[in-house]
Amino acid sequence: MNLTSKQRAYLRGLANHTEALFQVGKSSLTPELTAAVQEAFNTREIIKLSVLKNCQDDPRELGEMIAERTGATFVCSIGKKLILYKPFKEKPEIILPKA
């Protein structure tokens, strides 16, 4: 899913008030983390992750890899925070602004 800058800004604003659900540490992207993120998308549409200082990977690349593996859309990385979006298949709760 390709997002416009207006849609990305809208999703960033929604994620601004949420805490990071997951932390990516020195072991980087593990299958367990990917499975946990995938499971979390069953109950929410926006997920925020925090990349710890001891992780050597680039946060943007990590976000894109997680999005690819979970079928989500990488919204953005703000410093060491990642925001991912995956709408519910039936009845999405978040209605994006028109493109």
Residue 99 has pLDDT above 80, yes or no: no
Sequence-ordered alpha helix ranges (H) in the chain: 5-15, 31-40, 59-70
Please report the DSSP string for 10-37 in residue order: HHHHHHTTS--SEEE-TT-S-HHHHHHH
CB atoms within 10 A of CB 74: 21
In this structure, what DSSP letter does residue 96 have? P
- Say what the pLDDT of residue 1 is: 81
Check whether 84 has a pLDDT greater than 90.
Answer: yes
The pLDDT tens digits for 17-74 are 999 999 999 998 999 999 999 999 999 999 999 999 999 999 999 999 999 999 999 9
On the question of pLDDT at 93 being above 90, the answer is: yes
Match domain 5-85 to its CATH number in 3.40.190.170, 3.40.50.1370, 3.30.110.60, 3.90.1420.10.
3.30.110.60
pTM for the structure as a whole:
0.94
Cα(8)–Cα(53) distance, integer angstroms: 25
